[in-house]
Structure formats: C-alpha cells, structure tokens
Amino acid sequence: MRLGVLDIGSNTGHLLIVDAHLGAAPMPASSYKEPLRLAEHLVDGAVSDAGVVALTNFIKGAVEMAEDKGCERVFSFATSAVRDATNAQEVLEQVTRETNCDLVVLSGADEARLTFLAARRWYGWSAGRLAVFDIGGGSLEIAGGVEELPDIAWSLPLGAGRLTRERIRPGAWGANRPSDDEIRVIRTEIRAEIARNAGALLRAGTPDHAVATSKTFRSLSRICGSAPSSEGPFVKRVLRARDLRSWTTKLASMDEESIAELPGVSANRAHQMLAGSLIAEAVMDIFEVEELEICPWALREGVILDKLDRIDPNTPETVT
C-alpha cells in the first residue's frame, strides 16, 4: 500500500511517501518538504502567528500532495518545537481546524524508541547491541539495546537549532561569531548535560554498532569525506571522531556562506552546523565512540515500520 508520514520537526516539515507492506522495506516514492524553522518562530516560548501560518500552509500542501499521489493513509506527527511550545494545544487545534490533519505530538522518549526501531530493522538482529544517536533541531535522542525496542531511551534538549538559537547565535552570527572562550563554555555545558545520564548506556558495555541517524549526522559525515547521497543508501558511511574534531575547529572559524558551500550542507542548515558538530563531538567523547555508522533510516521510517506492525489492512483511514 502507499503510505505517507508527515514529520513536523523543529527545522523542516517533511512528507515522505512510501510504498510499503508488512515484512518489506518501505520504498520511497515521493517527498515534499519545506524549511519551516519552527524553533526559530518561538517567541517567549510560544509558536508565533507567522509560524502557525507557515505550518498550516505547509500541511495543507502536504495533505493535497498525499491525496494526489494516492496515499491510503498518512501518519502525522510533530516533535520538539511543537512539544515544547507553551501554546502547543492552541497550535494543534488550529492545525486540525484549518487542515483536518490531527498531529500527534511525540514525546522525546518515543522519538528515541522509534528511531532505534528504524536502525534495528536496517542493521538486523545479527548486529547485536546497538547504541543509536539522533541530533534533531530541538533535541538529542539516545537509545541502546539488543532487541527490537531499546532497553534504554531518553531525550535531551540539545538540538542543533535550539543550541544555535539560544547559545551560539543570539545575534547575527557571521558578523559576530562566538569567541573561542564562549565556544569552550558552550562545549562544557553540552558535555555536562549529556554526561548526567550517560551511565545508563555505558553500563551496558561497548555496543556492537554505534549508529547515528538524521540530517545533522549525515551532513557532518559528508563534510568529513563520506560518499554523497547520489551513490545510494547501501554505501557504508561513517563519521570518525578524529575527522570531526578537526572540522569542529574549522567550522568555528567559518561564516555561514562558506559553510553552505561544503558538501552535504544545505543553505538553510548552514547556520546550525557548528552547534551540530559540538553536540556530535560531545556524544562521541562521552560515550567513547571513535566511529559512528550513518544509518539511512531514522524517525520517519521508524514511524512507518511501527504503524505497519499494528495496521489492520481491512480498516480504512483518511489521508489525515
């Protein structure tokens, strides 16, 4: 059947349409996305009127595309930016009223769990114990385990967009980049936040595979020399700690325009790459990982796989 998953993230709204059935890998059929930057539309903790308008307009377009492409069902969810907004309920009600789309707000733990599920299905049972890390726009998800669902899973408010907005770019970064001393303070704060509960994962021992998912890790891996996306999902891609340390230093000295010209970096995410690099480097140091394997599947695929496991093919649903 043809399914859609509508992901309202802190950076991007993304409708992924796949052809899928139980027991098979979802095959991408079409994609529609926009850089909503919802996290940057937060004013005193609330999504601004402009942010709500951008969100509802995007969802209207996504619903229309899902219908045009023949989706039988669309699973819609929102993550950190909506979850943390003080006016989240009002935003959800307005979205439902104007688009007839009911967004489910995922908890941070659910994000971690579903991302882990995607990685487990990608690597398979023979991969043994997995440790899975995902840097989003608003949060960092961490999970580990030997089964299909993680033994441990948690979320931290350490997204690349959030850190950029709150700590790295309070003004116009590029004209006024943070100093080396300021970056050192930010670096220390990130590591203290991650280390606070790191023992929950470290006590399980060295994972058989340390895995990273989603756009920030993919971009960092590409900057550090991994194969481009044009070579397909089955090419092995890794992010090595030694390469990342070197590039973190370089990113701290570059302006946004120069960062946007790097391989694998889109213009709308260039301003977040230093923050993403600082978080990724902290993850690798705290959890003593010298190499992260880049998994092509992440939260959206996890949502689809989870829904396929539960779906009743005899029960129709609308595309919202």
- What domains does the chain contain, in order, with CATH numbers? 2-105 (3.30.420.40), 108-298 (3.30.420.150)
Nearest Cα residue to 6 out of 71, 67, 66, 75 = 75
Residue 176 has pLDDT above 80, yes or no: no
**In whole angstroms, how large is the CA radius of gyration of the chain?**
19
Helix axes of 214-223 and 241-252: crossing angle, nearest 10 degrees: 90
Using the structure block, give the residue that is written with the tokens 């492409």: 69
Interatomic CA distance for residues 260 and 262, integer angstroms: 6
pLDDT of residue 318: 43
Q: Check if the beta carbon of residue 264 is closer than 8 Å to that of residue 219.
A: yes
Per-residue pLDDT, 259: 95
pLDDT of residue 35: 92
Q: Kind of pairing, strands 2-8 and 73-78? A: parallel
Alpha helices in 6-146 (DSSP H): 49-68, 80-84, 88-99, 108-123
| pLDDT at residue 312 in the model | 57
- pLDDT tens string 239-263: 999 999 999 999 999 988 999 999 9
Give 163's contacts (C-beta < 8 A, 6+ positions apart): 186, 190, 275, 278, 279
pLDDT level of residue 311 (50, 70, 90 thresholds): confident
Buried-exposed string 203-214: b where 16+ CB fall within 10 A, e elsewhere: eeeebebbbbbb
Give the pLDDT confidence of 111-145 residue by residue, as tens digits: 999 999 999 999 999 999 999 999 999 999 999 99
Contact 226, 305 (CB under 8 A): no
What was the pLDDT predicted at 48? Answer: 93
User: What average pLDDT does the structure give for the chain?
Assistant: 92
Is the pLDDT at 319 greater than 60, yes or no? no
93 CB-contact burial (10 Å; exposed 0-12 / middle 13-18 / buried 19+): exposed
- pLDDT-based confidence at residue 167 (cuts at 50, 70, 90): confident
Global confidence as pTM: 0.93
Tens digit of each residue's pLDDT (9 = 90 or more) over 21-43 = 888 899 999 999 999 988 888 88
Q: What's the mean pLDDT in 309-315?
A: 67
